[in-house]
Structure 1
């Protein structure tokens, strides 16, 4: 081969390696973190996101922002996954997790410039993360399901700084009531809390319905609007004439024969209705269609019927009423019926819906959220869903921590002490990890218009004196005892954020070669230099890609 280089990649492939690859990926990750950093805390700002069709989302919810931004850069997407994991696991703390991940990358960049190897950094970061989780677990405060006041404080803290803050205390009470109602002994499934949005009225008018709201109407005007003390049948099928499973042709030679066919169909429908009447049905929810003639018979019997009910609604109705969902009417027995003190069709926000209320044990409930505009209601919903996740997590784990940057400030001090016991260059990585955690109190101060240096100095001195619940009051600028103030968060919000942020940062740092089978320019870029951009992240490009690496990846 002589001195000829061997080409193993196709001509269309792009490659960058070594320091350039690390710089590009770190820059992309930091750009994502920076995009949500200003939304952190009770004084965080909102983002307006406009997509290509012109629809607008106004929010300061970290995971919503990152999903709506339509990020293309593969390294940046690893940071987005941090937010999504945080959302799935605990429902809150998405912005904190992303900001910490970005700061870990920023600290790592300085150490890489000092010729600290990425593998050494990764090892040190992992050691620091493990130690941080241990320290947090030692400091956690135990909470039981009977500590209603603490649960309400948790719910309120999760809504602070979001669109629901004007009615935070009232909504926090509703959230705790909702989660407590659906909690089983060893499981809290917040899918059993349905959230209905209504545009109109104020947030203060939001309410909790201990039962189920089905977004349907009764099928016939002659049916009753409301039924008291109702026996409820849940039939996941159709009340229609059964069709033959094979194609058949019937020749009718006499009008009497046609009438006989029609009579048989009517008789079949009548039998279905009689079956419901025989077992004592007052209300029937049907998964499929209801024949017009069957609707007539049901109305004659005074039975309120609802058709095309979704499977999720069936599950909630079964939990709320205690009924059994049956797929064959012949199998329906009196024991399968559920009970509700009231089933009624009511107007809500201009739409007619079926309310199933006054159930014996409300194991499925509905939150009705109101607001002046659609954007307001959407943001209230996001805040309430975060709050539901926080209360669920606390009931499952039973441990909380003070908020306001208190855990991060304490961890930073403890990890600096821990770094002295770590040998080798990993010690520098542990110290960098400690510095990175302080981005949370620093950002809280910045977003509140305070001096971040003064705030951080005050926090450190209070923690040095042993006040481990001391956090930053974003409203007054003072350092106060967050536990006494009722600003608390679930332990898992912090441990999951540290775990996810560390794993994402380590994965990005360990990449020293990026090979793409195609053009590495930003999607939508029609020309320009074909070489890999050294800086990588470029601009946000409106709602488009992150630049640096687009389309092909």
Structure 2
């Protein structure tokens, strides 16, 4: 058996890291992502300036926006970003919290690994702790009725506190609550909210306070013909998914005309078809047309003569919202249109907003789709107001659906950490250390809040523990004055889904990364410059992998 020849299974171009090196690389990458967004947490969080490849600039402290714009290569870092994406899709807010929890769980895991505890034991402890955390969180909730607009506004306000639009928070919170309640639909004893039924239009100019919510739809479209009325009251709206044009032949064909009379007959026939289409619309009783496709110039003329307001090339999503807002049906064949298909609106008007023509379809009866027009002095302000409003609407929607809230300001996390610590004492074994690590990860949210507010995190945590130890379960940190206060009384509240989803997705990602002990990455065909320089796996430059040295 002497002179054994080595067996090569992997290509010589393959990069491989295994064991402790692979784990440490993944843990570092996760910590880097956590550190990037940690300073944005809370009302005193800092902003990030994101510069795109073409020089476009975004300034925000929204965790989802920051992570979405970052160009990440390290696979473990991408997995942490998936936590944020899941949080954003499921709840719409709390992305920073979810990412910090995932990163801190891996930091705690690294300490436990250094103590000689096997990854399987840590993963098992984390899984048990996450399940128990869900139970504890559900026990901390307080009920909120659908009719309690004041509390719903506090939920919206909490989500937007610390954003650049904080000066306009009252206007945006009010719109968020009204918009969500308008489109909410009751199903048995519960409410369901589809935020796709809330359209958002953005227009620079004015201030955020000039933003409006229409009881109907706002379209970035104008009349197709200047002879049409600018304003229509008691509008009967035809929603068409059909072109008001002469249909072409299905196959390529050629029409030969030998004399002017034949040409005139051909043109007269086309004109007659267009006139008939307009006549069908008029007979149905419509005084407004919103068409998803094109409208022929001649048809525009006929519509204008009949005093019918018309818009063309409306988006499919807008057509669906218009049907829900006006009660009309989208018609695919003009010959079949009837009065029953028409939608209704008290007012349709074309208005000039900051130099652009927009059409307002308003005064709809109990519309189940609405629009919000966001204004602002600059593009950056408008974009940030848009992000803040969407966060607010998401958390209000989740609150309306569940009817449950928990206190903010770190109150929920410190209570959760204390309960998990007690649970760890009753667990025993090596898994108990992992449960303690989970409690520390939950507590890290409070540390980040205190740090970002310029306070001593240790003093803050000690004071919060004392309060919670005497049944002050809703006491949290007021970042503005550094005082410990009852967050429910202060109106700092959040939907329970923010916490439950952050714990769920954060722990699942941490456990998945924790169980990886081998990273095998093939180089790209482009060679070292496009592959994995410096021996780091999978195109990950040195350090944390795919991260600039300054971000470590």
**TM-score normalised by the shorter chain: which range applies?**
over 0.9
Matched, 1:541 2:536: no
| 2:183 corresponds to | 182
| 1:240 corresponds to | 245
Q: 1:272 to 1:424 in 2, by over 3 A?
A: same
CA distance in 2, matches of 1:476, 1:504: 35
| 1:550 corresponds to | none
| 1:119 corresponds to | 120
Answer whether contact 2:523 2:531 (CA < 8 A) is retained.
Answer: no
CA distance in 2, matches of 1:251, 1:128: 81
- Using the TM superposition, give the Cα deviation of residue 372 of structure 1 relative to its aligned residue in structure 2, in angstroms: 1.5
- Using the TM superposition, give the Cα deviation of residue 521 of structure 1 relative to its aligned residue in structure 2, in angstroms: 12
- Using the TM superposition, give the Cα deviation of residue 230 of structure 1 relative to its aligned residue in structure 2, in angstroms: 0.9
| 2:42 corresponds to | 41
| 1:354 corresponds to | 359
- Using the TM superposition, give the Cα deviation of residue 367 of structure 1 relative to its aligned residue in structure 2, in angstroms: 1.4
| 1:298 corresponds to | 303
CA distance in 1, matches of 2:534, 2:146: 61
CA distance in 1, matches of 2:525, 2:464: 45
| 1:72 corresponds to | 73
| 2:63 corresponds to | 62
Structure 1: which 5+ residue stretches go unaligned? 548-553
**Comparing 252-261 with 311-320, which one deviates more in the overlay?**
252-261
| 1:193 corresponds to | 198
- Using the TM superposition, give the Cα deviation of residue 520 of structure 1 relative to its aligned residue in structure 2, in angstroms: 12
CA distance in 2, matches of 1:4, 1:534: 33
Mapping 1:401-420, distance limit 5 Å: 401-420=406-425
Q: Could you give the per-residue CA deviations for residues 530-553 of structure 1, whole angstroms, max 9, x where no partner exists?
A: 46589751573399xx99xxxxxx
Matched, 1:146 2:115: no
CA distance in 2, matches of 1:264, 1:477: 79
Mapping 1:411-490, distance limit 5 Å: 411-490=416-495
Matched, 1:268 2:273: yes
Q: 1:522 to 1:505 in 2, by over 3 A?
A: farther
Structure 2: which 5+ residue stretches go unaligned? none
Q: Could you give the per-residue CA deviations for residues 72-107 of structure 1, whole angstroms, max 9, x where no partner exists?
A: 110000000000000000000000100111111111
Q: 1:531 to 1:249 in 2, by over 3 A?
A: closer
- Using the TM superposition, give the Cα deviation of residue 142 of structure 1 relative to its aligned residue in structure 2, in angstroms: 1.0
Answer whether contact 1:321 1:338 (CA < 8 A) is retained.
Answer: yes
CA distance in 2, matches of 1:179, 1:531: 48
| 1:131 corresponds to | 132
- Using the TM superposition, give the Cα deviation of residue 223 of structure 1 relative to its aligned residue in structure 2, in angstroms: 0.5
Answer whether contact 2:416 2:439 (CA < 8 A) is retained.
Answer: yes
CA distance in 2, matches of 1:289, 1:520: 47
**Comparing 471-480 with 343-352, which one deviates more in the overlay?**
343-352
CA distance in 1, matches of 2:446, 2:330: 51
Q: 1:88 to 1:4 in 2, by over 3 A?
A: same
Answer whether contact 2:218 2:372 (CA < 8 A) is retained.
Answer: no
The two structures, once aligned, show a CA RMSD in angstroms of 2.0
CA distance in 2, matches of 1:528, 1:381: 40
**Comparing 478-487 with 200-209, which one deviates more in the overlay?**
200-209
TM-score by length of 2: 0.96
CA distance in 2, matches of 1:112, 1:348: 61
| 2:92 corresponds to | 91
- Using the TM superposition, give the Cα deviation of residue 250 of structure 1 relative to its aligned residue in structure 2, in angstroms: 2.9
Q: 1:520 to 1:86 in 2, by over 3 A?
A: farther
Mapping 1:290-329, distance limit 5 Å: 290-329=295-334
Aligned residue pairs total 545
- Using the TM superposition, give the Cα deviation of residue 201 of structure 1 relative to its aligned residue in structure 2, in angstroms: 1.5
Q: Could you give the per-residue CA deviations for residues 209-243 of structure 1, whole angstroms, max 9, x where no partner exists?
A: 11101111110000000101111000111001111
| 1:511 corresponds to | 516
CA distance in 2, matches of 1:534, 1:231: 62
CA distance in 2, matches of 1:27, 1:299: 66
- Using the TM superposition, give the Cα deviation of residue 420 of structure 1 relative to its aligned residue in structure 2, in angstroms: 1.6
TM-score by length of 1: 0.95
CA distance in 1, matches of 2:72, 2:528: 10
CA distance in 1, matches of 2:275, 2:496: 59
Q: 1:534 to 1:199 in 2, by over 3 A?
A: closer
CA distance in 2, matches of 1:196, 1:288: 21
